[in-house]
């Protein structure tokens, strides 16, 4: 469910008219709904025991306005860089609710996490264990760690967002799990606190999760028998969302929660979940204005002022996003919806049935709240879209659009 609905023939975000908003902030812009963020977080959190740490995956949408909205509900944060750690702290996420993931943590980033007092580091390799031990020793601290174990489970999702098979760069192979924990136990500035896993993103079936959860539960028992103190299980995120009307409905959060409960029953571990897309995707749209309607030999092209630099998912993953007119009307034409970027892959959708549109009309690209603005670039010297957060009938620009001169001013001509 989201809070983008037509009222009197115009698309609204909660109680904010997107047509009027476009006139005030210009296009293209991302628009996020506070009510949708809040609802999705609560529905997910309520599927788990109250002491579960819901560490929102900052990489899905790291806007400070979004993070603050979730922090006020009690969310923690899953971060994968020093910048994301600083963002989470600035938005009010307590350090003891932050977990630090990622395969390439630098020593400087480790120092940031240790000095802040984060909940744990999810370590992804043996060299990282050694580096973190060294940094913690220099600071006179002990680093709380889980080790991300790759359960070698195929999530059957897009190849570019699968993370849990033996061919992926993430985590330590299942066959080396006990050896890695033995190494960690020998390093005096590390404190083993749990186990971590993550098998991928946009997963719409329970079976891969259940297979991975079962393997991790068995591993916890084995590691405890080896003498390790395993108090936490970080099960990652990955629950998908529907992007197209024909997409299979992902499991409801309560069914996902029940699968987790069955898998960890009797272990007595603190649970950590890292949802991202599930919280943010349907909470955002990308609003764009039609620049031209172009008649081709075999196609009619709707050329927008938003491009693949603003939303790269269709070009990068062949991802589907529904596209609607901001003015409610019956479909009357078929378009290829494209952007102005000088690439053939700058295509938001082929053969889309939309109302008859003309230059200056507005469209909204739906389910764009996750992996949209965070993946934007300034390719073709195009400043990325602005970001707006709405709450009821109020709105605020939470990331202004950079001007051409500001963008160019970041470069330096050497003397």
What element of type H or E holds 391?
Answer: strand 386-391
* DSSP 3-state of 24: helix
> CB atoms < 10 A from the CB of 257, how many?
20
∠ Cα 255 57 281 (to 5°) = 70
Beta 284-295 vs 300-304: how paired, if at all? antiparallel
- Rounded CA-CA distance 415/409 in Å is 16
User: What does the alpha-carbon distance between residue 370 and residue 85 come to, in Å, rounded to a whole number?
Assistant: 18
- CB pairs under 8 A, 24+ apart, for 44-50? 44/253, 44/273, 44/275, 44/278, 44/279, 45/73, 45/74, 46/253, 46/254, 47/253, 47/254, 47/256, 47/257, 47/258, 48/257, 48/260, 48/261, 48/271, 48/273, 49/271
Where would I find the beta strands (DSSP E) of 254-330?
A: 270-273, 284-295, 300-304, 323-325
Specify the DSSP class assigned to residue 200: B
Q: Residues with catalytic annotation?
A: 342
Judge contact between 381 and 26, C-beta under 8 A. no
Q: Are 68 and 91 in contact (CB under 8 A)?
A: yes
Strand partners, 77: 56, 98
- Report DSSP state, residue 383: P
- Beta-sheet pairing, 284-295 with 362-365: antiparallel
46: Cβ contacts below 8 Å, ≥ 6 apart: 253, 254
The pairing of beta strand 394-399 with beta strand 386-391: antiparallel
């Amino acid at each position: 469910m989201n809070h983008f609905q037509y009222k009197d023939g115009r698309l609204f975000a909660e109680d904010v008219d997107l047509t009027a908003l476009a006139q005030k902030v210009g296009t293209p812009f991302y628009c996020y709904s506070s009510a949708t963020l809040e609802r999705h977080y609560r529905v997910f959190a309520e599927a788990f025991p109250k002491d579960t740490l819901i560490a929102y995956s900052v990489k899905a949408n790291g806007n400070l306005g979004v993070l603050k909205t979730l922090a006020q509900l009690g969310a923690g944060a899953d971060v994968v860089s020093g910048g994301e750690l600083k963002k989470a702290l600035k938005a009010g996420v307590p350090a003891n609710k932050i977990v630090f993931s990622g395969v390439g943590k630098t020593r400087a980033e480790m120092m940031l996490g240790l000095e802040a007092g984060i909940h744990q580091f999810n370590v992804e390799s043996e060299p990282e264990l050694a580096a973190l031990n060294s940094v913690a020793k220099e600071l006179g601290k002990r680093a709380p760690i889980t080790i991300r174990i790759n359960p070698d489970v195929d999530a059957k999702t897009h190849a570019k967002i699968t993370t849990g098979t033996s061919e992926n760069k993430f985590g330590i192979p299942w066959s080396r799990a006990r050896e890695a924990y033995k190494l960690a136990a020998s390093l005096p500035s590390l404190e083993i606190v749990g186990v971590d896993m993550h098998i991928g993103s946009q997963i719409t079936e329970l079976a891969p999760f259940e297979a991975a959860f079962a393997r991790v539960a068995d591993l916890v028992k084995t590691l405890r028998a080896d003498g390790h103190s395993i108090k936490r299980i970080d099960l990652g995120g990955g629950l998908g969302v529907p992007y197209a009307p024909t997409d299979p409905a992902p499991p409801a959060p309560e069914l996902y929660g029940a699968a987790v409960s069955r898998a960890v029953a009797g272990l007595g571990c603190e649970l950590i979940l890292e949802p991202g897309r599930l919280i943010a995707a349907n909470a955002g749209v990308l609003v764009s204005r039609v620049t031209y309607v172009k008649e081709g030999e075999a196609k009619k092209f709707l050329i927008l002022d938003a491009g693949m630099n603003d939303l790269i998912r269709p070009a990068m993953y062949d991802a589907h996003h529904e596209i609607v007119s901001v003015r409610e009307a019956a479909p009357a034409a078929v378009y290829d919806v494209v952007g102005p970027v000088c690439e053939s892959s700058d295509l938001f959708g082929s053969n889309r049935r939309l109302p008859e549109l003309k230059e200056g009309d507005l469209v909204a690209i739906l389910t764009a709240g996750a992996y949209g603005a965070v993946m934007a670039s300034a390719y073709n010297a195009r400043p990325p879209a602005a970001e707006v957060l709405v709450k009821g009938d109020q709105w605020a620009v939470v990331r202004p659009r950079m001007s051409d001169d500001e963008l160019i001013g970041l470069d330096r001509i050497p003397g």
